[in-house]
């Protein structure tokens, strides 16, 4: 959802070889769905020292705030754009990734604080990595376009709850592409999230609440569901790229993957904007915008910034915890958005939506508990290995 790039890291992974050069204090990161334990080259202090360090907890809390606040604000601003008279799907797609230069600041700050160390890393073909960026970037652009249509044709609350199905799709794609096991808790999560989305698809009271025909509602539903599936596929493909091609899972590699795939997606969105002819309507759209021309520009600007704030939160959580945890927090934000949609846009929150939201939260808890069990088992294994060594 978050311009694909958010997701890219791990909401359910991300990386690149251009910026992860030698001489950086590289942090090894666990990729979503991977069976590999998370390791770090930052020091030899035991894991418990991190949990007792208030600064570490502060960083986790701050990045969670960035992710949830950025994702919530960007979704609400996207709906506001349409409500006030905006109608360009390609412009809505463009702003989801156009703020990617903000991530260069994060990359610069990370490098400036790095200590100089020598690291050996496999050489990666420039052609291969460029092809990965292009393919994933184009998929992200297509994914963002589907999300833009979904946000146009659906109430924000319905849209967000359908997007929560990405966690279920991620489990399915991870099973086939990344050898992730289907445990009872994962299976339970998939079933719950599937039924949650299905309830919204057949909810007749929700259809037509935006003054649109049932056909456009179903189109928005199908495209949002397809976007959630595509988003999860992108993440699984990224993991394959990390494990099979790049073979490096470091902070700068993850950040470079976000930056350069977002660059490709932004260029693709611009081409779509001009090829579709929508660029000709932008001036008239700005003048007719319900809240005025300045508000039109600021809405688009802050939508782009909000998506990148969410991206900073995603990368930050990958840096201090793991990519899988980052993905789960991103999904957690989705059932929260309907609450704000009711407050700001007066979305109708009927019984079916409430049940769907509770099922989505239940599915999230089930998935999250499985991650907790996996993490606990991984820690026990690493402790026993250290004791034996």
Q: What is the pLDDT of residues 52-90, one digit of tens each?
A: 567 777 888 888 899 899 999 999 999 999 999 999 999
Domain presence at residue 46: no
Can you tell me the distance from the alpha carbon of 110 to that of 135, in angstroms, rounded to the nearest whole number? Answer: 27
Residue 23 lies in a domain: no
DSSP result, 271-306: HHHHHTTGGGGHHHHHHH-TT-HHHHHHHHHHHHHH
Residues 6 or more apart whose Cβ sits within 8 Å of residue 16: 129, 132, 133, 246, 253, 254, 255, 256, 257, 259, 260
How far is residue 72 from each of residues 18, 156, 339, measured CA to CA in Å?
31, 10, 10
| Contacting residues for 54 by C-beta, under 8 A, at least 6 apart | none
Predicted local distance difference test score (pLDDT) of residue 206: 56
4: left (phi over 0), alpha (psi -120 to 50) or beta: left
How many structural domains comprise the chain?
Answer: 1
Tell me how far apart the alpha carbons of residues 334 and 322 are, in angstroms, rounded to a whole number. 20
Q: Please indicate, yes or no, if residue 259 is contained in any of the structural domains.
A: yes
- Supply the DSSP symbol for 250: B
Q: How many CB atoms lie within 10 A of CB 349?
A: 16
Task: Identify the segments of the chain with pLDDT beneath 50.
Answer: 2-47, 50-51, 114-120
**Tens digit of each residue's pLDDT (9 = 90 or more) over 325-360:** 776 777 777 777 888 888 888 877 778 888 888 888
Residue 189 to residue 256: CA distance in whole angstroms: 32
Please check whether residue 20 lies inside any domain of the structure: no
Is residue 291 a part of any domain in this protein? yes
Rounded distance between C-alpha atoms, residue 96 and residue 111, angstroms: 26
- 39 in any annotated domain: no
- What is the pLDDT at residue 33? 40
Residue 19 lies in a domain: no
Query: Looking at the domain assignment, is residue 117 inside a domain?
Result: no
The CA distances from residue 282 to 89, 277, 278, 313, in Å, are 11, 10, 7, 31
pLDDT of residue 113: 52
pTM for this model (two decimals): 0.78
Residues near 240 by Cβ (< 8 Å), separated by ≥ 6? 177, 178
Its domain, for residue 86, covers: 58-111+135-380
């Amino acid at each position: 959802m978050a311009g694909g790039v958010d997701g890219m890291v791990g909401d359910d992974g991300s990386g690149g070889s251009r910026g992860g050069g030698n001489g950086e204090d590289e942090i090894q990161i666990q990729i979503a769905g991977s069976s590999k334990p998370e390791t770090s080259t930052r020091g030899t202090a035991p894991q418990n020292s991190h949990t007792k360090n208030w600064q570490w907890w502060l960083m986790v809390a701050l990045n969670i705030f960035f992710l949830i606040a950025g994702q919530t604000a960007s979704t609400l601003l996207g709906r506001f754009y349409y409500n006030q008279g905006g109608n360009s799907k390609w412009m809505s797609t463009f702003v989801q990734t156009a703020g990617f230069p903000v991530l260069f600041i994060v990359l610069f700050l990370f490098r400036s604080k790095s200590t100089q160390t020598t690291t050996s890393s496999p050489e990666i073909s420039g052609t291969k990595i460029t092809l990965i960026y292009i393919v994933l970037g184009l998929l992200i652009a297509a994914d963002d376009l589907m999300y833009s249509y979904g946000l146009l044709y659906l109430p924000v609350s319905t849209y967000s709850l359908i997007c929560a199905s990405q966690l279920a799709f991620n489990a399915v794609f991870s099973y086939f592409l990344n050898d992730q096991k289907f445990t009872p808790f994962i299976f339970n999560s998939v079933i719950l999230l599937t039924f949650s989305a299905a309830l919204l698809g057949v909810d007749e009271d929700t259809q037509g609440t935006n003054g649109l025909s049932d056909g456009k509602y179903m189109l928005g539903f199908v495209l949002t569901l397809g976007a959630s599936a595509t988003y999860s596929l992108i993440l699984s493909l990224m993991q394959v790229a990390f494990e099979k091609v790049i073979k490096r899972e470091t902070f700068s590699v993850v950040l470079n993957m976000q930056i350069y795939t977002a660059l490709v997606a932004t260029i693709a969105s611009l081409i779509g904007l001009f090829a579709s002819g929508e660029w000709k309507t932008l001036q008239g759209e700005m003048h007719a915008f319900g809240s005025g021309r300045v508000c039109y520009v600021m809405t688009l600007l802050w939508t782009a910034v909000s998506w990148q704030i969410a991206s900073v939160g995603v990368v930050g959580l990958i840096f201090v915890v793991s990519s899988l945890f980052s993905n789960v927090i991103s999904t957690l934000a989705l059932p929260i958005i309907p609450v704000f949609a009711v407050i700001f846009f007066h979305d109708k929150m009927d019984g079916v939506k409430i049940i769907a939201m509770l099922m989505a939260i239940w599915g999230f808890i089930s998935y999250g508990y499985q991650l907790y069990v996996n993490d606990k088992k991984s820690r026990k294994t690493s402790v026993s290995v250290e004791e034996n060594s």
